[in-house]
Each structure stands twice: as C-alpha cells, then as structure tokens.
Amino acid sequence: QKEVEQDPGPLSVPEGAIVSLNCTYSNSAFQYFMWYRQYSRKGPELLMYTYSSGNKEDGRFTAQVDKSSKYISLFIRDSQPSDSATYLCAILTGNQFYFGTGTSLTVIP
C-alpha cells in the first residue's frame, strides 16, 4: 500500500462549480499536510499548508484534514478556468515527504 493515495482524475467541471480533491494516507503518525498546484509544464507551487485536524481556509480554497479517517481534502469554491491545473497532496513526517500522484483538474468556461 502506498503511503499516500490520490485519484488521478482527470476531473472536468463547469466554471463556478465546487471542486473536491481528495487523498488518503496510511500512517496515523503523519503530521503536516500540504496541497500543491502545478500548472502545465511548470513546477509545483505550495497552495495550502496545515498540521491539525479541521479546516483551513484561504480565499476560495479550503483544506480539510480528518486524522481519524486519514483523509485530506481540498475544496475550491466558485472554480475558475485559471484553477485548471494538477493538484498534488503531500504529507511531511519527520524529514520524510510523501506526495500523491496528482489530480488533473479542468474548469470549463
């Protein structure tokens, strides 16, 4: 079993939709949770960072962590065509990073 599992998609939604992106992880000791956004042919950029269960909001983006279920989510409200990208979840424990394979999202105008 991989340490982090992420549905690769692709996911295609109309502009204005609410998007839900998800990852599951295997180790309850995992501590820090991140979401990266990667535009085509670019490097990943950090979007959200959290270390506790619950929700963290930043504009249209909400990161949610459920440690009891070992489940992390990224919600995008009022999605825009500029949100079209690949989204990677990542987890840090100690000095070890684990990355999901990424979910490709397309927001259709």
Partner 1 sequence: DVKVTQSSRYLVKRTGEKVFLECVQDMDHENMFWYRQDPGLGLRLIYFSYDVKMKEKGDIPEGYSVSREKKERFSLILESASTNQTSMYLCASRSPGQITDTQYFGPGTRLTVL
Backbone torsions φ then ψ of 64, nearest 5 degrees: -125, 135
Q: Which stretch binds partner 1 (CB under 8 A): 52-60, 61-69, 72-80, 93-101?
A: 93-101
- Confirm or reject binding of residue 90 to partner 1 (CB under 8 A): yes
Considering the rule CB under 8 A, would residue 84 count as an interface residue with partner 1? no
Contact present, 105 and 19 (Cβ < 8 Å): yes
Binding of residue 88 to partner 1 (CB under 8 A): yes
Should residue 8 be labelled a site residue for partner 1 when binding is judged by CB under 8 A? yes
Stretch that binds partner 1, among 20-28, 57-65, 68-76, 100-108 (CB under 8 A): 100-108
Contact letters (x/-) for partner 1, 13-52, by CB under 8 A?
-------------------x-x-x----xxxxxx--x---
Per-position x/- string for 53-72, each x denoting binding to partner 1 as judged by CB under 8 A, each - no binding: --------------------
- Structure tokens belonging to residue 71: 């489940």
Residue at token pair 């990852």: 23
In order of 17, 54, 70, the CA distances from 33 in angstroms are 24, 12, 11
Q: What is the 3-state secondary structure (H, E, C) of 8-22?
A: CCCEEEECCCCEEEE
